[in-house]
Amino acid sequence: MQIHWREIIRRPVVTEKSNYQADINNQYTFAVDSRANKVQIKEAIELAWPEVTVEKVRVANMPPKRARRWRRVSTRKPGWKKAVVTLAVGDSIDLFEGV
């Protein structure tokens, strides 16, 4: 059974740092499923954008964050997995197509 690429790639991470990496180093950052490995992430990127070639995938588990609000109320953001994908020279991904 083939897993659809949207089950692996959750969303692009759009920050100042990720925009800089995309422009200078040809690296794109995505939030991915926490159970996905590097091979699955590479296949999902190449299925989503067939015109690109993935050279390298780096993965980091981002820790959960806790914050304190008011006196006794605390909030918690769950942990997530981040993938930084390096593309071949000359390839690019248009994250905001049609916007």
Q: What is the mean pLDDT of each run of 10 residues along the chain (99 residues)?
A: 81 93 93 94 92 95 84 84 94 76
Position 72 scores a pLDDT of 77
Q: What is the pTM of this model?
A: 0.84
Position 73 scores a pLDDT of 79
In whole angstroms, give the CA distance from residue 72 to residue 98. 45
Position 30 scores a pLDDT of 95
Strand pairing report for 80-87 and 54-62: antiparallel
How would you label 27-37 residue by residue, b for 16+ Cβ within 10 Å and e otherwise? bbbbebbeebe
CB of 41 within 8 A of CB of 85?
Answer: yes
Sorted by where each starts, the structural domains of the chain and their CATH numbers stand as 5-87 (3.30.70.330)
